[in-house]
Amino acid sequence: MKAWLVSFLLVLCSLSSRGQGEFNSDEATTSTYRILSLLGGGKASTGTGFLINKSGYIATNQHVIDEANEVYVIQRHDEVIKVWFAQVHSTHPEVDLAILRVKGVLGKPVIFTDEEPQKGSDVFAVGFPAQADEEAEKKRFYSALQKNKFRDIPADPAYNNFVDTTVRKGSIESIRPRPWGSRNQPAMVITHDANITGGNSGGPLFTRDGVLIGVNTMIRGEGRSQDGVLVGNVMRMSSLYTVLQGVLDQQGIIYHQKDEEGVPEVVNDPEGTEEPEDPKRISPVVEKPEAKEEEGMGQFLKDYGAYLAVGVGVLIALLALFFGLRKDPEPPAMMAAPAALPAIQPVIPPGLPAQPSQPITPAPQAESFSPPVPAAPPVAGLQLTLASTSESPVSFQRRIAANEISRGGFILGRCSTANGRINHSSVSRSHAKVKVSDGKPYVSDAGSSNGTFHNGKRLEPKTGVILKTGDSLRVGEVTLQITLQT
């Protein structure tokens, strides 16, 4: 019975796939770039971006270029790897988006969809996941890049793969509002199972017909890498295209969107300065030639296959209810962060400013922490030790005396001004805050993107909990063990 059902479902799947176009990965690649952020001190990180219009506006995640001193955009063109210096046009940490501006950039702008995609439909994540990078190729590429002073370099089999995009296919699981960005305000988010990881941040999420439906941003949950795939209790999350559209409309930036008839049109261009994209870039539905009249089972499936598919779908839904499938609680979130790179000595091309034309806007600071008990002078002998576990991606240890904690609290975060700096991409600039009240230490989340977790439970912003010896405190992907001494 089970074998018959599987065979029958496979037949229906083959029927449902008729008439669908094929995803054109070459077209998607012409719109996608590797984003290189030089952070200073010989450090750098990388993410993904995509072209918005022919004037050189490129979209990516804000956390990809956060704290960058210089930003470069890289794309391979046949025998040359093009390297462009990028200006930061604007940053929008509240939705984790940034807009770059590149002079003379090559490539084709993406075309936005005009409709909300459906659950179960195919999606394609294009970008530069760190799991696809070979360490030896990475080092050879950056050696060539530095040697040529961050200008165009010739393509070379020794490192070409490092600048070639990776396409990962999945399907949509849900589309609904979720807490998002630096303020954890609701935004429309797509969850899907296309295998995005570190390095995919800021990259485009396409439909089968090659139109943009989202911006790849983060993964939520706990997982492990297995054969280049992140497995476990993991959700992959991309902001819906409307979130980026809101930013572009607010800035008055031109973009391309297909109309009701599937023809690309130019938006935010009252003077008609930009030509619409070629309609052929949107993959058409594959039309099958007329066939001779079929007989028997083939004709039956042709006539009634859609009805059978609906019936099987209803049957599966009933079985799911029968076996008590339930929605799992949302696991903790972490950024699909920019991947770490070898040490780089920044070299700014001649004639270009050392800094972006507009400074990168830091994430807004959280409001003052309000402990749940009245404030009282701290105990002079109180000491709090926070030490990272062996599983954490970075090492951190800090002993804090009560008299070191100011009225504003002791800040744990990634920015250089944090009292306890944890230099990891999953940690927000101002991530968590420790204060002492009534002789006891309290911790609260400071409006972080990836959350603060106390003994596995996510804290609500500005809601303090008491810290005790043996407690576990997780900020981003970094887990700290607590030791309290008096």
Residue 76 lies in a domain: yes
Residue 87: Cβ-neighbour burial (10 angstroms; 0-12, 13-18, 19+): middle
Shared-domain flag, residues 250 and 388: no
CB 432 within 8 A of CB 448: yes
Residue 321: Cβ-neighbour burial (10 angstroms; 0-12, 13-18, 19+): exposed
Instruction: Identify how many contiguous H helices and E strands the chain contains and give both numbers.
Output: 6, 29
The C-alpha atoms of residue 382 and residue 485 are separated, in whole angstroms, by 6
| Higher pLDDT among residues 204 and 362, named by residue | 204
pLDDT for the residue numbered 284: 56
**Encoded tokens for 211:** 């139109």
Residue 451 lies in a domain: yes
Parent domain of 104: 23-285+328-340
Q: Does residue 333 surpass a pLDDT of 70?
A: no
pLDDT for the residue numbered 37: 92
Shared-domain flag, residues 82 and 196: yes
Average pLDDT, the chain: 78
The C-alpha atoms of residue 311 and residue 274 are separated, in whole angstroms, by 48
Residue 244 lies in a domain: yes
308 φ/ψ angles, rounded to the nearest 5 degrees: -65, -40
**CATH value at residue 413:** 2.60.200.20
CB 419 within 8 A of CB 407: no
pLDDT for the residue numbered 414: 82
Shared-domain flag, residues 335 and 401: no
Residue 54 lies in a domain: yes
Shared-domain flag, residues 332 and 438: no
* Strand, coil or helix: 139: helix
| Higher pLDDT among residues 172 and 346, named by residue | 172
The C-alpha atoms of residue 217 and residue 202 are separated, in whole angstroms, by 6
- Residues found in the chain: 486
Residue 369 lies in a domain: no
Q: Does residue 155 surpass a pLDDT of 80?
A: yes
Shared-domain flag, residues 335 and 412: no
Shared-domain flag, residues 400 and 256: no
CA 309, 313, 318, 324 torsion: positive or negative?
Answer: positive
Shared-domain flag, residues 334 and 432: no
Shared-domain flag, residues 335 and 406: no
* Strand, coil or helix: 42: coil
| Higher pLDDT among residues 401 and 73, named by residue | 73
Q: Does residue 420 surpass a pLDDT of 60?
A: yes
CB 426 within 8 A of CB 450: yes
CB 164 within 8 A of CB 134: no
Residue 125 lies in a domain: yes
- Give which of 47, 43, 66, 70 is closest to 448, Cα–Cα: 66
Per-range mean pLDDT, top range of 1-15, 162-176, 356-370, 438-452: 162-176
Residue 247: its H or E element: helix 241-251
The C-alpha atoms of residue 255 and residue 275 are separated, in whole angstroms, by 11
| Higher pLDDT among residues 39 and 178, named by residue | 178
Q: Tokens 């599987």 identify what position?
A: 6
Residue 448 lies in a domain: yes
**CATH value at residue 82:** 2.40.10.120
pLDDT for the residue numbered 69: 87
Shared-domain flag, residues 226 and 333: yes
pTM of the model: 0.59
Looking at the 3D structure of the chain, how many domains does it have? 2
**Encoded tokens for 82:** 């093009």
Residue 35 lies in a domain: yes
Catalogue the E-assigned strands of 93-184: 97-101, 111-112, 122-127, 153-154, 166-180
| Higher pLDDT among residues 341 and 193, named by residue | 193
The C-alpha atoms of residue 122 and residue 100 are separated, in whole angstroms, by 29
Shared-domain flag, residues 210 and 107: yes
Classify residue 233 as left (phi > 0), alpha (psi -120 to 50) or beta: beta
Shared-domain flag, residues 332 and 423: no
Shared-domain flag, residues 85 and 154: yes
CB 109 within 8 A of CB 55: no
